[in-house]
Structure formats: structure tokens, C-alpha cells
Amino acid sequence: MTENARKPAFGVAPEAIEKSRVLAEALPFMRRYAGRTVVVKYGGHAMGDAAVAAEFARDVVLLRQVGINPIVVHGGGPQIAQMLDRLAIKSSFVDGLRVTDAKAVEVVEMVLAGSINKQLAAAITRAGGLAIGLSGRDGHLIRARKAMRVRRDPATGRDEHVDLGFVGEPDMINAHLLETLAKSGIIPVIAPVGFGPDGETYNINADTAAGAIAGAMRATRLLMMTDVSGVLDGEKKLLQHLSPQRVQEMIADGTISGGMIPKVETCLSAVAQGVEGAVILDGRLSHAILLELFTDGGIGTLIGRAPG
């Protein structure tokens, strides 16, 4: 009788045997990522479901326990919108970015760096990890520059600059601070709020912040958790791997369009900065992070060099 054909031990539950098989298959992947940094952008559907959030926290802790250094960057758009509505503060959007005046940026910082950030850090700590909630202003973690957008006036046909207020883009990441936390076994949970040259507060898109942090840390993976399965082809089938060149071609021919464009552009930027691979995956799936990292082929779309 061969090793693979051995009968299960008497009295051992089939569920236990299945769990041991899964762990054995995951071991090579755990070894591959041990000692490496994985940046996870967390948001969307998962943030509104307590059970999903608790499962996410346990999965992040597992990454740390098997030797991976996870960094979590979270969003909070729906929560910000709810608070702005409660305070009767109106806001508008340009290219998916919230125009943020002085009143609105106070609310953004309060929501992102306050309740959301601390709840998520507490959930990870309850799950057995050691998490600390930070905003990009803490420890000069994210220095930002003012973001500007150019929009064509349909009446005149001329391009005009649109002032987004206190909306910023990452200009510098304090990688030393994150490296120090990793060496201490601490899991950073980061709210995408940065500081400007004069100490002003800037609201930063969470995807953009996660990509910049992944690049600064030379992460092995950037995981962009979304509400879709990944990048789809013309027949709406999931594409498991895309080279940067292929992504550009799909943007040009319209296969990648709408809200997916800024996400893949964030992935391209991260890869260009040295991230081995950026993945767009469905955060609504149970144990999405583990399925992506510890199974052959993963579950989302990997942008970068082919996994090996």
C-alpha cells in the first residue's frame, strides 16, 4: 500500500483529516511568504459586516503567526458619507475623489482615524494579534501633496483645473516606522489621512495609500480587496494573471473601464515601485486573503510577474 493510499486512522473524523490535508498543501506557500510584507487594502462590503470583519481579523493574525508581516490600510467612504449627511455637510465627487473642504476634512479624519481605525485594530488584537491603529499623520507616516484634476469643460472644450480641496496624494512614506513595527511583531492598521507641508490634513484615497505603502515597503503582495472577483475579459471571465503591458492594452481597448481603471493603475504603480505582484480580489469571499496567498493560482487577478 502506497503512502497516499493509506487508510485514515480509526476514529478520526473526516473533517479533521480534511483540515490536515489543507494545512499540508498550504505549507509551501507559507514558506514562500515567510518574512515578507503583505499590504492589504480593506474596505467595501467587508467593513459593513461584523462577522466578515471578525473573520478578516483572524486571517490577518494568522498571517503574522506564520511569519508574514501584514499591513492593513482601510477605507471608509460609506461611513464618511453617513456622517457628512448627519452633519448636513454637502460634498461632491470628481473622478471618484470626494471634494473635501475644511469642514469635510475634519469629519473625514474623525471617521477614518477614529471609530473605524480603532475598531479594526481592536478586532485584530481580540483575535490574538498585536495591532496598533495609526493615521498617516502619526509618526509622519504619510506625507501628502495636494491632488489636482484636469477636466474638460463641455461648453468651451478647454481643459480646466479642478480644486479638490483637502484631497492629497502620497508624496513620502515613512517606511522606517513600519519596519520598526514589523520587527516588534506589531500589525499596523492605517487610516489614509496624510499631512501636508504646512501640517494640514489631507484625505487620501485608500487604494492609492495602500499602493504607495506597498511600494515603499517593497511588499511581496498588495492585496486590493474589492466587491468584484477581479479583472474580467470581454466574456466576463476572471483573468488570473496580467502583465503590466497587457493591462495597458486592456485599458486602451476598453476591456478595463470605469472604476476598475484607478484600481489597476494603483496596481501598476505599486509593481513599478518594486512590489512583486498586486492582486485585485473579492473581499466578500470567506477567508479571501488565505485563499489568495495559500492556494495554487489564488482567487483574484494578479498583476505583475507570473507567480513561481
DSSP-assigned letters across all residues of 126-190 = HTT--EEEEETTGGG-EEEEEEEEEEE-TTT--EEEEEEEEEEEEEEE-HHHHHHHHHTT-EEEE
- Confidence at 11, pLDDT banded by 50, 70, 90: low
> Which residues lie closer than 8 Å to 188 by C-beta, 6 or more apart?
71, 72, 131, 132, 134, 178, 181
Bridge partners for 143 per DSSP: 172, 195
Contact 219, 275 (CB under 8 A): yes
CA distance 215 to 222: 9
Return the C-alpha torsion angle 130, 174, 302, 147, nearest 10: 120
The yes-or-no verdict on residue 19 having pLDDT over 80 is no
CA distance 53 to 189: 13
Does the domain at 36-304 match CATH 3.40.1160.10? Answer given as: yes
- Confidence at 307, pLDDT banded by 50, 70, 90: low
Mean pLDDT of all residues belonging to the chain: 89
Is 0.85 topped by the overall pTM? yes
- Confidence at 1, pLDDT banded by 50, 70, 90: very low
At 82-139, the pLDDT tens digits run 899 999 888 777 777 778 888 989 999 999 999 899 999 999 999 999 999 999 999 9
Strands 277-282 and 221-226: parallel
At 44-70, the pLDDT tens digits run 656 667 788 899 999 999 999 999 999
Alpha helices in the chain (DSSP H): 14-33, 50-65, 77-86, 102-110, 117-126, 175-183, 206-216, 244-252, 260-272, 288-294
From residue 170, give the alpha-carbon distance in Å to each of 39, 115, 196, 248, 253.
16, 23, 10, 23, 29
CA distance 55 to 60: 9
Task: Write down the pLDDT at residue 115.
Answer: 86
At 70-97, the pLDDT tens digits run 999 999 888 888 899 999 888 777 777 7
> Which residues lie closer than 8 Å to 275 by C-beta, 6 or more apart?
214, 215, 218, 219, 220, 221, 222, 304
- Confidence at 143, pLDDT banded by 50, 70, 90: very high
At 231-281, the pLDDT tens digits run 999 899 999 999 999 999 999 999 999 889 999 999 999 999 999 999 999
Return the C-alpha torsion angle 120, 125, 126, 127, nearest 10: 90
